[in-house]
Amino acid sequence: MKDNRAYTLLYATALGALCATLVSLTRTLTEPARRMNAQAERARQILEVLDVPVPLESSSSQLIAIAGRTITAEKHGKTTLYRYSGEVGTEPDLGSAVAVPFSGTGLWGPIRGFLAIESDMKTIRGVTFHEQSETPGLGGEIAAACSCGGDLQTPCTAWFRHQFKGKRITETPDRPRIRIRRVRRPNAAQDEVDGITGATLTCRNVEAMLSDAIDQLLEER
């Protein structure tokens, strides 16, 4: 009986050590690929918010290469600005713009994304969200995937973030730089977008995050 117990203990110990070794080895071998995938995903997010054309089936290495040719990262204290100056010989000519990451707390957890502003520092080029845990169908709509291929004349599941494109930043003191309206109505002002019904707190927090990001951009430009 004692021999059986000793054998079982030895077998379990050896098996556990083998599994731990295999997990560690797998992690080590896949580390370069995981690092490249993370770098490519960040490049994709920055290219998207700056509206830089990217081939649909671009690989991780291609995304990184496109960002390397077109985007310049500028470190300002704890913040990194991503400046797009265009690529010689490409169409269309998008003009220069700058993007900044933003983050804050939503209803259920962190919200993170990127905001891009045109070179005039008065017009929003784009807003994207790459992390959120808001309620699906309500606050979660802030990060809905695009279903229209970028055609703003076509109804799209990403309608919320598409609204920001071309909006003007207000310079009125004691007022959000860009306002998210609680009630939808036609003829929104140039510094307003419609909020998401049933997601008032999410929209209010996003409004504050974007205003803070814009202030940061204007200070660091």
Q: Write the CB contacts of 196 (distance below 8 Å, at least 6 apart in sequence).
A: 138, 139, 141, 142, 160, 202, 203
Residue scoring higher pLDDT (188 or 120) = 120
- With a pLDDT cut of 70, the percent of the chain lying above it is 87
The model carries a pTM of 0.80
Domain ranges in the chain are: 71-220
For the chain, the C-alpha Rg in angstroms (whole number) is 23
pLDDT tier, 82 (very low <50, low <70, confident <90, very high otherwise): very high
* Highest mean pLDDT pick, 56-65, 75-84, 88-97, 116-125: 116-125
Average pLDDT over residues 38-45: 90
What's the rounded mean pLDDT across residues 101-128? 94
Q: What distance in Å separates the CA atoms of residue 157 and residue 179, rounded to the nearest whole number?
A: 21
pLDDT value of residue 167: 94
In whole angstroms, give the CA distance from residue 128 to residue 20. 39
Whether pLDDT at 151 is above 70:
no
Q: Which among 94, 73, 76, 96 is positioned nearest to 84, based on CA atoms? A: 96
Q: How much is the pLDDT for 221?
A: 66
Place 85 in a pLDDT band, splitting at 50, 70 and 90.
confident
Does the pLDDT value for residue 1 go beyond 70? no
